[in-house]
Amino acid sequence: MIAQVSLARRAFAEFLATALLVAAVVGSGIAAQTLSPNDVGLQLLENTIATAGALFAIIVVFAPISGSHLNPVVTIVDCAIGRRSWSEAIAYIPAQVAGAIAGAIVANVMFDRAAIETSTKVREGSNIYFAEVVATFGLVLVIFLLVRTGRAMESVVVVPAAVAGYITAAYWFTSSTSFANPAVTIGRAFSDTFAGIAPASVPPFIIAQIIGAALALAAVVVLTTQAKEEVVSE
């Protein structure tokens, strides 16, 4: 059993890690928008590269402390497959959401904006929601296939590099630019800048993310559960 204090500390790690991630996503979006005003693609490329660098560093650094979830759907799937108790989710998820909001505030302040803003960037459309299902499906699939095949244990850089690589791609190949994370989605509603999302768009995004995570969990189970006859014959 894990002690009370220790869980508090791990929740603090999730808070700090998610704050750094959202500060990186929002802050680099503001810088990109300001410095490359004439090409939205270039802005997204700059935002992508900054996000990938931050993800790699943050995941590798906090993994030995909290597991580096930074993401409620990752925490929930981790509980669903029995690797973590549901009581931990109750500590992790609020820490992630609070961290995400704190990260947006830090980014706003660094770039001399009002500390708390409300994004006006409406992100809607059934194709966008479908993209968000795909984005989260892919992210959860990547993480939990690595975990369930044991590959995540073979090198400490595998999960950070795979997640950074996947999100690099997903910022581009999904029309939603791949939020894929309910906590980060909430945090990004607090900055009216490049990476923002209007509050009205947050609920459908989170619903899409939950659907994507559930589908990924199903695919992971199908791909990694050995049928009895397989075990025998292989």
- Restricted to residues 167-226, the positions that interact with a copy of itself (CB under 8 A) are 167-176, 219, 222-224
| Stretch in the footprint of a copy of itself (CB under 8 A) among 71-79, 86-94, 107-115, 196-204 | 107-115
Sequence-separated (6 or more) residues with CB below 8 Å from residue 217 = 77, 80, 81, 140, 144
Count of residues that interact with a copy of itself, criterion CB under 8 A: 97
- Interaction mask 148-167, a copy of itself, x per CB under 8 A: -xxx--xxxxx--xxxxxxx
The answer to whether 234 contacts a copy of itself (rule: CB under 8 A) is: yes
Pairwise CA distance, residues 11 & 90, whole Å: 10
| Stretch in the footprint of a copy of itself (CB under 8 A) among 31-39, 69-77, 80-88, 182-190 | 31-39
> Environment class of residue 229 by beta-carbon count within 10 Å: exposed (0-12), middle (13-18) or buried (19+)?
exposed
The answer to whether 48 contacts a copy of itself (rule: CB under 8 A) is: yes
Sign of CA dihedral 71, 221, 158, 65: positive
Q: In angstroms, how far is CA 82 from the centroid of its own chain? A: 20
Interface with a copy of itself in residues 64-103 (CB under 8 A): 64-65
| Stretch in the footprint of a copy of itself (CB under 8 A) among 8-16, 73-81, 84-92, 201-209 | 8-16
Sequence-separated (6 or more) residues with CB below 8 Å from residue 214 = none
